[in-house]
Amino acid sequence: MTKGAYDVVLLPGDGTGPEVVHEGRKVLEALMENSSPRLHLTEVQGGAQYYQKHGSEWEPGGRERATKADAILLGAVGWPGVSLPDGNIAGHGLVLGMRFGLDLYANVRPCKLHAGVLHRIGKEFKQVWRPENVDMTIFRENTEGLYSPAHGELSRGGATEVVLDTRIITQKGSERIIRRAFEKARATPKGAPEDGVRRVTCIDKSNVLKGCQFFRATFDRIGREEFPEIERDYAYVDAFTQWLIRQPEHYHVAVATNMMGDIVTDLAAALQGGMGFAAGGNIGDEHAMFEPVHGSAPKYAGKNQVNPFATFEAVAMMLGWLGDRYHDPSLLELEGRLHAAIERVLAEGTAMTYDQGGNVTTSQAGDRVAEAVRSSKPAASPSAREVAA
């Protein structure tokens, strides 16, 4: 069903979140000039700083508005020294609350290095990996594993003696994330940069952990029965961390349980030039929330310095997801135009923020990309599509 108009809730959150969401909005508005699909953008306040002032994580009615939206764009949450009475970070409800509450079971992290982007390993800015060799998508399970709300503690006489975090791996949870990963591999015929093979790598610790043995057996069954044309590949998570860095070209799609996926996706961000370029989609069957994954970066808050490209990538993923979900090619066209603009501006090197050795501000980078989308044509598909699917 094509709707023609979509409700998008922006959750700027804390720290640098509002700065990057502001730029994301600027770019979205530039994209929508003279275009038929309308995104109605509503901002909802919430997060740790909001909690500090008002004693609640959300503005009144905010959670309900986010829940009803067609899609959510989140900035970042978390502020030093502000936590909830249960010890969780304030702002937890906006991230984990939405992931669990809306059943956003797939945390999708494309990892693509754009031409023109440098790595920062140590103090130097240099190119370590070639752009054509870094183009993968990691699927992280997002609603169970070690993040399951199955925690406990044993206190006696006021002293905590034992704490427990129970890792829950279910059949339903494993099947649906694994299926998503294989579907992605099927939908991107280009395959891995190394050899063009469509491949899904199962990241686990099945040499030790029961839950991982179950996850891997589920991976094998689904792969064999439903996706026989896709290569099945395996990596113990410890070894994966070094293979990822040594031979990123081998990877096309990878799938992992929640906590392991959390760790390896931050590492993968180094391949694409740092957290400033890393965007994630929290995707369910009915709802989705997109975010730059760099967090609130309190040290940089209010300085107009951080890199907004992760947010532009998150906006592109959001357009792609909405376009697919509502079969709306005009949204997919906007997505393609945004990808083309991002690629052009990065290749020109005219919007590099401090993390890339440049001195362009957050808002100037937003201006450059907004200008570029006004004159952009869709990137040659299907490659642009592949990033967000």
Pick from Mn ion, ligand IPM, none: which does 365 bind, CB < 5 to 8 A by kind?
Answer: none
Rounded Cα gap, residues 32 and 336, in angstroms:
13
Query: Smallest gap, in angstroms, from Cβ of residue 90 to ligand IPM?
Result: 11
Q: Using an 8 Å Cβ cutoff, are 141 and 218 in contact? A: no
Q: Who's near 298: CB < 8 A, 6+ residues apart?
A: 14, 15, 79, 80
Q: Who's near 283: CB < 8 A, 6+ residues apart?
A: 104, 105, 106, 107, 108, 180, 321
Rounded Cα gap, residues 388 and 137, in angstroms:
9
Q: Which is nearer to ligand IPM, 69 or 310 (CB)?
A: 310
Q: Who's near 303: CB < 8 A, 6+ residues apart?
A: none
Q: Using an 8 Å Cβ cutoff, are 328 and 37 in contact? A: yes
Rounded Cα gap, residues 116 and 272, in angstroms:
11
Q: Which of these ranges, 24-32, 161-169, 255-263, 334-342, lies near Mn ion under the rule CB under 5 A? A: 255-263
Question: Which helix (H) or strand (E) is 112 found in, with range?
Answer: strand 106-112
Q: Which is nearer to Mn ion, 138 or 230 (CB)?
A: 138
**Single residue of 98, 178, 203, 293 touching ligand IPM by CB under 6 A:** 293
Query: Smallest gap, in angstroms, from Cβ of residue 282 to ligand IPM?
Result: 8
Pick from ligand IPM, Mn ion, none: which does 95 bind, CB < 5 to 8 A by kind?
Answer: ligand IPM
Q: Which is nearer to ligand IPM, 116 or 295 (CB)?
A: 295
Asked if 262 is part of the footprint of ligand IPM (rule: CB under 6 A), the reply reads: yes
Asked if 260 is part of the footprint of ligand IPM (rule: CB under 6 A), the reply reads: no
Q: Which is nearer to ligand IPM, 96 or 310 (CB)?
A: 96
Q: Which is nearer to ligand IPM, 143 or 353 (CB)?
A: 143
Q: Which is nearer to Mn ion, 96 or 352 (CB)?
A: 96
Q: Which is nearer to ligand IPM, 95 or 345 (CB)?
A: 95
CB atoms within 10 A of CB 9: 21
CB atoms within 10 A of CB 207: 9
Rounded Cα gap, residues 108 and 268, in angstroms:
12
Asked if 279 is part of the footprint of ligand IPM (rule: CB under 6 A), the reply reads: no
Q: Which of these ranges, 78-86, 126-134, 222-230, 260-268, lies near Mn ion under the rule CB under 5 A? A: 260-268
Rounded Cα gap, residues 311 and 372, in angstroms:
16
Pick from ligand IPM, Mn ion, none: which does 102 bind, CB < 5 to 8 A by kind?
Answer: none
Asked if 95 is part of the footprint of ligand IPM (rule: CB under 6 A), the reply reads: yes
Asked if 291 is part of the footprint of Mn ion (rule: CB under 5 A), the reply reads: no
Query: Smallest gap, in angstroms, from Cβ of residue 261 to ligand IPM?
Result: 8
Place of tokens 């982007």: 117
Judge residue 132's burial from the number of C-beta atoms within 10 Å of its C-beta, 0-12 exposed, 13-18 middle, 19 or more buried: exposed
Which residues here bind ligand IPM, judged by CB under 6 A? 95-96, 262, 293
